[in-house]
Amino acid sequence: MKRIILSAVIAAVMGGRLCAAVAEDSKIFTPFFDMTLNEAAYMPSVGNIFSGGNINTQVGLLAKVTEKDHIFGLYNFNYAGQGFAPQDSKQFTDRSMTHAFNFEYRRNINEKFRVRPGVSLSSDYSRSGANEAWKNGLYNMSALGFQLAADYIFDFEKNGVVSLTYLSKAVKFPNYTDLLREFQDPSNTANANGGLQDQGIKQVSLRPIWGKWFGGITYTLQNFDNQKVVENTGVYGTTKQKDTTTAVDAGFHHALWIFELYPMASYTMHRSNQNFMRYKSLNDSASATFVSKNYDYNELTLSVPVDLNITSKWALGGALNMTSRKYTDRNRRDENNDYVDGLQKNLMTTLTGSIRKRINDTAMVRLYYALTVASSNNKFEKYMPGNYTGNTIGIAYQLSY
Amino acid sequence: MKRITFTLTALLCFNGAAFAAIDWESKGMQMAGEIIANPAGFFYDFQQDLEGTTPLPPGKTWGIQTGLFPTAIPLTYANVSGKVRLHGEGRIAPGVPQVDLIGGYWDMLAAKMATKDSKTIDSAKFGGYYMGGIISASVSPKVRTFWGYKHSVMAAKLAFKPDEDGKLPQFMGTDLNSFDTGFKDDFIIAGIETPKGVNKLWSMQLNYGIKTQTFSSKVSWYGKYFELGLNIFPEGVLVVHPVWNFHLNF
């Protein structure tokens, strides 16, 4: 679920970058190419050493049909490998792979106003530490959607643009099954496999860019097609699950002497009408505890990367990344999986130091070391570590045009 | 100074806590298990190390290549690859891209020697080939993008015979007679190339297998004679392969 929200927010943020891809005056076709590769070794204080990384390839083409009519097509391959992740989001060993296609028609209404209708389709594969075949991933999903975006240029001199985007998507999870329901009633496969995670997503975002500044507000609504809300009796009722996420983000990119800063902050409020019934084990109904609004949280993320450009080729880099999540209604648990006083709070901080070499205008390589410190007042860590420290040593390449 | 000392001490403490968790023995067992579960996938990753999937340099019409490390040494993959240019960029008309044919073959010499010398291996065959094409187009004086297709095939067959005592090798309590596994897939290639210096190039590419969803990312630096690379197989047993290949282009 977290992945869907993250994908939706990233799509909104990326939208700003990609809509900035403009046709060169002399060309009918302008390509867009970006390949990044990041591979790292991870050494956590909980669990064994592992390696993981990220591959992202974006290939696009902007076609200038007439002066006012442009068509933009983009293919994006993304692989997110094993790695440290904020608590309650994914396990170290989880991986995912996405193929996404976007087609956008751009029409300049006048000098200041442009509209961008488009369609998008994507396939997302997931894989857990059990190394199941990609096609069998429990959370595999496919999405088909359309968007309508409008850009208004309010300052030509400082590249001031504000974009309003509406996005609608139908998301299907063909392999998803409710393991608890299957265990409770093995013959009732319709309830366990009947597209419980299938959902419709609607998203509205407003994103201004002005000079060195960028920001935006994104509202996402997830309407589940079949999943019902758990009631305090421990059984699913008749109300369908509905989640909303409101995210505000802002940042800037500024170069001052040899310093290059690009900090960003975002605040996310996630609300769901889904509840949670905690069982200590599958056969232990006596320990059942009902937690209303179990999934509601507020999250603050902060990213402060700084590069110190020693020469035109070499730079020293440092970065602070922080994710702080506070649940609004979920109490923390002790080591025995018992709820105790106080709401659950998670904090993950990563300090990174790096050396970057620019090979030419289009290529760069970065060698980095990161120290991750994750802490949580939730001490029940049987399935997912919440309190650990980790070291990461990695190398990243980027080629973009 | 006190603050710096405190920070360094804290960092070293964190380091100690984190590095203490490394269990090399269990990591080795995990990797061995992954090789046994999918031997063809493990050996095919090395085939990708010797495959020449970058376009011929501008102005060259054909080229040959052989993988030196980790293919010929230490894995004894005797191998040869070739490239032939069908069309030079812009020859027929401005903007028409360069078109190259690529292909190659390898055979594992160690498998042949094992058959000859071993008392328990009856026959062994480890080998493969690939063929395909690459289209490349300059998008600026310093950047060339390339797109390709390759059909890759690998065979891994091993048959055992009883030793002097009439016993077959065993794996987890079961007699091993033979295994016959292989790998076959059609790949899409997308890459970008940029000059690093005079006659030196830097490239990155993605190879994606349509049926098996096997994928790799190759980062390469190459000049007149040699190619150095880092091939990344994120889902492989050995994730990072340092690669050294020899090539001549005419």
Q: Which of A339-353, B26-40, B133-147, B205-219 has the lowest mean pLDDT?
A: B26-40
Q: Taking CB atoms and an 8 Å cutoff, what residues of chain B touch A127?
A: 235
User: Which tops the pLDDT comparison, B113 or B66?
Assistant: B66
Of A31, A51, A52, the CB nearest to B139: A31
CA nearest A216: which of A201, A202, A206?
A: A206
Residue A176 has what DSSP assignment? -
Q: Is there a contact between B44 and B128 (Cβ–Cβ < 8 Å)?
A: yes
Residue B210: is its pLDDT beyond 80?
yes
Report which secondary-structure segment, H or E, holds A181: helix A179-184
Q: What percent of chain B has pLDDT over 70?
A: 90
Which pLDDT score is estimated for A385?
A: 87
Matching CATH number, A2-400, of 2.40.160.10, 3.90.1150.10, 2.40.40.20, 3.40.50.1820: 2.40.160.10
Task: Write the single-letter amino acid at A302.
Answer: L
CA nearest A396: which of A36, A59, A81, A78?
A: A36
B204 contact A CB<8A = yes
| Strands A254-256, B170-171: pairing kind | unpaired
CA distance linking residue A68 with residue A111, whole number of Å: 10
What is the three-class DSSP state of A13? helix
Q: Residues near B203 by Cβ (< 8 Å), separated by ≥ 6?
A: A399, B54, B191, B192, B193, B194, B218, B219, B220, B222
Question: Residue A373 and residue B14: Cβ atoms within 8 Å?
Answer: yes
Q: Taking CB atoms and an 8 Å cutoff, what residues of chain B touch A387?
A: none
The chain B residue lying nearest A135, using CA atoms, is: B213
Q: Residues near A325 by Cβ (< 8 Å), separated by ≥ 6?
A: A86, A87, A88, A297, A298, A299, A345, A346, A347
Of B22, B203, B205, the CB nearest to A48: B22
Residue A4: is its pLDDT beyond 50?
no
* Complex prediction ipTM: 0.83
A369 contact B CB<8A = no
Q: Residues near B137 by Cβ (< 8 Å), separated by ≥ 6?
A: B89, B95, B97, B98, B144, B145, B146
In chain B, domain spans: 27-249
CA nearest B103: which of B53, B147, B148?
A: B53
Residue A20: is its pLDDT beyond 60?
no
- Among B139, B188, B218, B230, the residue to mutate for chain A (most A Cβ within 10 A): B139
Residue A306: is its pLDDT beyond 50?
yes
Structure tokens at A126: 């997931």
B200 contact A CB<8A = no
Q: Is there a contact between A218 and A12 (Cβ–Cβ < 8 Å)?
A: yes
B28 contact A CB<8A = no
Q: Which of A92-96, B98-102, B108-112, B192-196 has the highest mean pLDDT?
A: B98-102
Helices B24-37 and B39-50: angle between axes, nearest 10 degrees: 90
A236 contact B CB<8A = no
CA quadruple A223, A225, A231, A234: dihedral positive or negative?
Answer: negative
CA distance linking residue A197 with residue A179, whole number of Å: 13
**Chain A: nearest CA to B165, how far in angstroms?**
39
The chain B residue lying nearest A81, using CA atoms, is: B234
CA distance linking residue B232 with residue A393, whole number of Å: 15
Which pLDDT score is estimated for B17?
A: 45
Structure tokens at B173: 């309590």
Structure tokens at B201: 């190039």
- Among A33, A38, A140, A365, the residue to mutate for chain B (most B Cβ within 10 A): A33
A391 contact B CB<8A = yes
Residue A150: is its pLDDT beyond 50?
yes
Which pLDDT score is estimated for B6?
A: 43
| Strands A297-309, A314-333: pairing kind | antiparallel
In chain A, domain spans: 2-400
- Among B12, B15, B193, B206, the residue to mutate for chain A (most A Cβ within 10 A): B206
Which pLDDT score is estimated for A401?
A: 83
| Strands B170-171, B174-175: pairing kind | antiparallel
Q: What percent of chain B has pLDDT over 90?
A: 60
DSSP characters over chain B: -HHHHHHHHHHHHHHHHHHTT--HHHHHHHHHHHHHH-HHHHHHHHHHHH---SPPPTT--EEEEEEEETTTTTT-EEEEEEEEEEE-TTSSSTTPPEEEEEEEEEEEHHHHHHHHH-SSEEEEEEEEEEEEEEEEEEEETTEEEEEEEEEEEEEEEEEE---TTS---EETTEE--EEEEEEEEEEEEEEEEEEEETTEEEEEEEEEETTT--EEEEEEEE-SSEEEEEEE-TTSSS-EEEEEEEEEE-
Q: Which of A6-15, A186-195, B39-48 has the lowest mean pLDDT?
A: A6-15
Residue B20: is its pLDDT beyond 60?
no
Q: Taking CB atoms and an 8 Å cutoff, what residues of chain B touch A47?
A: 21
Task: Write the single-letter amino acid at B46.
Answer: F
> Residue A248, Cα to own-chain centre: how many angstroms?
14
B192 contact A CB<8A = yes
What pLDDT band is residue A154 in, cutting at 50, 70 and 90?
Answer: very high
Question: Residue B142 and residue A389: Cβ atoms within 8 Å?
Answer: no
Q: Taking CB atoms and an 8 Å cutoff, what residues of chain B touch A362?
A: 142-143, 192, 194
CA distance linking residue A32 with residue A62, whole number of Å: 8
The chain A residue lying nearest B189, using CA atoms, is: A57
What pLDDT band is residue B172 in, cutting at 50, 70 and 90?
Answer: low
What is the rounded average pLDDT of the residues B205-212?
95
B151 contact A CB<8A = no
What is the rounded average pLDDT of the residues A179-208?
81
Which pLDDT score is estimated for B250?
A: 96
Structure tokens at B104: 């190659």
Report which secondary-structure segment, H or E, holds A182: helix A179-184
Question: Residue B21 and residue A95: Cβ atoms within 8 Å?
Answer: no
